[in-house]
Amino acid sequence: MSRALLLPAARFEIASLGELVGEPSRVAMLLALLDGSARPATELADLAGVTRATASSHLRRLREGGLLSVEPRGRHRYFRLAGERVADLIETLALAGPRGRTRPSARDPARQALERARTCYRHLAGRLGVACYEALERQRLLSLEGGGLRLTRRGQARFEALGLKVARWPSGKACLDWTERRSHLGGALGTLVSQHLFDLGWIARRKDGNGRAVEVTPLGRCELVRQLALPEAGLEP
């Protein structure tokens, strides 16, 4: 198919996507699900500050647009992002967005927490995520193979020594961080490594209601430096 024939379809798809993500309440719902969680409509309505009926309409449109999937659980339905592709899209839109007067203040505590450390879908992002990725690269624990990032044998041995043992190591990818403008480790490998850091108790969800925000635990401050050679500057509170 020629490029000329593709352009009208592309314009339609982009315009449709722009309409979907151009409504603040729908954006709030998508951002709430960016941590990879599944949430019921009532919770998403509260997070977006809209009525149940309005939330139902927004969720239906997001489902029809292919941005959300739904999971029946008993009498309730839980909504989640329709895969990592959608999470990447939301992060990319945030990266490409204008940085003007409409942005939250850089001193906003909630924003500062997200910039320090957060989950991007199911992998670690923010300054901490970037610091982890760069530490792995610096020690040559990662290599680019077949278009994806994989742990080297040395990297596998390092994580096996930390108790992470799998039958087959997945690949990952460099994911451009929308606040740092540098890469963090994404994909299946990024998810695996991030979950193991949670399991080790080195990082934890913040308890201030800032759903995606993550903090380094006292144990993590020691072990991330000792075991993964993270610079202490990347662990600032």
Domain count, the chain: 2
Is the model more confident about 9 or about 178?
178
Q: Select from 96, 125, 151 the last residue of a domain.
A: 96
pLDDT for the residue 31: 84
Residues 77 and 113 in one domain: no
Q: What is the pLDDT of residues 121-156, one digit of tens each?
A: 888 999 999 999 999 999 999 999 888 999 999 999
Note whether residue 40 is domain-resident: yes
User: Tokens 């379809």 — which residue?
Assistant: 9
Phi, psi of 74 (to 5 degrees): 65, -125
CB-based burial, 23-38: b 16+ in 10 Å, e otherwise: eebbbbbbbbbbbbbe
Does residue 77 sit in the same domain as residue 168? no
Distance from the Cα of residue 132 to its chain's centroid: 15
Q: How confident is the model at residue 14 (pLDDT cuts 50, 70, 90)?
A: low
Domain membership of residue 50 (yes or no) is: yes
Q: Which residue in this structure is represented by tokens 């509260």? A: 46
Same domain, 87 and 11: yes
Distance CA 162, CA 14 (A): 44
Specify the range with the lowest mean pLDDT, choosing from 15-24, 159-168, 174-183, 187-196.
15-24
Query: Which one has a higher pLDDT value, 181 or 210?
Result: 181
* pLDDT at 22 exceeding the cut of 60: yes
One-letter identity of residue 24:
P
91 & 114 share domain: no
Q: Both 56 and 137 in a single domain?
A: no
pLDDT tens digits along 110-121? 778 888 999 888
Q: What is the pLDDT of residue 100?
A: 44
In a domain, 65, yes or no: yes
Give the end of a domain, one of 63, 96, 129: 96
Q: Does residue 197 lie within any of the structural domains?
A: yes
Q: What is the CATH number of the domain that holds 70?
A: 1.10.10.10
Residue 20 is predicted with a pLDDT of 81
Tell whether 83 and 131 lie within a shared domain.
no
Which pTM was predicted? 0.73
The boundaries of the domain holding residue 60 are: 3-96
Same domain, 133 and 226: yes
pLDDT, tens only, 81-109: 988 788 878 877 765 655 544 455 556 78
> Which of 56, 75, 96 is where one domain is finished?
96
Residues 134 and 208 in one domain: yes
